[in-house]
Structure 1
């Protein structure tokens, strides 16, 4: 079994990663870190740079967490990438970070977190940044 975490280089992403590490350690399972980009912009601040990925790699290796880090760029939104990964790897849990959004912001922009919560076939743990 696998735990999937949707990671972005933000405080919410860090909170999700920290909780996912704790869950993976507790259940002695593989952690799959998903950090994706649609690839439709020259700069995507939610797509982790090489040094950020290396830092995560080092952190997981130091803690003895069996892990895989994927950074797909396939034109899909982040929710689709997390949901696809969870299905493909028969995930027992998805961990995501939440950020505060206004009701109008949710209406106009949609919500990656909301889509994952509604469409996931496994439990979803949503965490907030401290």
Structure 2
């Protein structure tokens, strides 16, 4: 198992499948994990952490059932401040993005539909900023 993980969180399976494919194609040395909610994402993060594997990047949707992406990323930042956090959304309000920047050290916000080049460039740039 790769020691380097990129986690994608979105409540739409088709989006997760696209993200996984695009990320796997461009980041061959990384493992790409997916979760359909913030709760499921925490389960993945905790399981990986217990195995000694760190999540390096989280790409999260904003509008999800249960917990919105900005709230999730703020909570992640409290426990894992070094994770690079990216919101990928078609619906986030500006206040939520501002909050994520201030309280979660949000690295970037990409809008749906996204261009694969922008996604890959953002992840590369985030990883290089660590």
Q: TM-score scaled by structure 1?
A: 0.44
In terms of fraction of residues, the more helix-rich structure is: 2
Structure with more relative contact order (C-alpha pairs < 8 Å, separation 6 or more) = 1
Q: TM-score scaled by structure 2?
A: 0.44
